[in-house]
Amino acid sequence: MLSRPFFTTHEIAELLKVSEATVRNWIHEGELRAVRFGRDFRVAATDLEAFVNAHATQPAPDQKD
């Protein structure tokens, strides 16, 4: 059915070495796109990658002019 992998707030917190509360704040502030399933959120891998890229201090090496 769905071909994209999704991450839980817990998985993202572990991956980025931040608290789950921080991840939930990003979601509630609209910085990180998520899908709500009941009381839980899931974030698509592509949305997480876009979030990380948007908060990078420099463009990715393949994006330099």
pLDDT at 59 over 80: no
Chain segment 3-50, per-residue pLDDT in tens: 668 999 999 999 999 999 999 999 999 999 999 999 999 999 999 999
- Is 1 domain-assigned? no
pLDDT at 63 over 90: no
- Is 52 domain-assigned? yes
- Is 32 domain-assigned? yes
Spell out the residues 6+ positions from residue 9 whose beta carbon is closer than 8 angstroms to its own. Answer: 20, 23, 24, 27, 40, 41, 43
Domain extent for 36: 6-59
Task: Supply the CATH number for residue 39's domain.
Answer: 1.10.1660
Of the candidates 4, 37, 33, the residue with the CA atom closest to the CA atom of residue 23: 33
- Is 24 domain-assigned? yes
- Is 38 domain-assigned? yes
Q: What pLDDT does 62 receive?
A: 72
pLDDT at 65 over 60: no
Domain count, the chain: 1
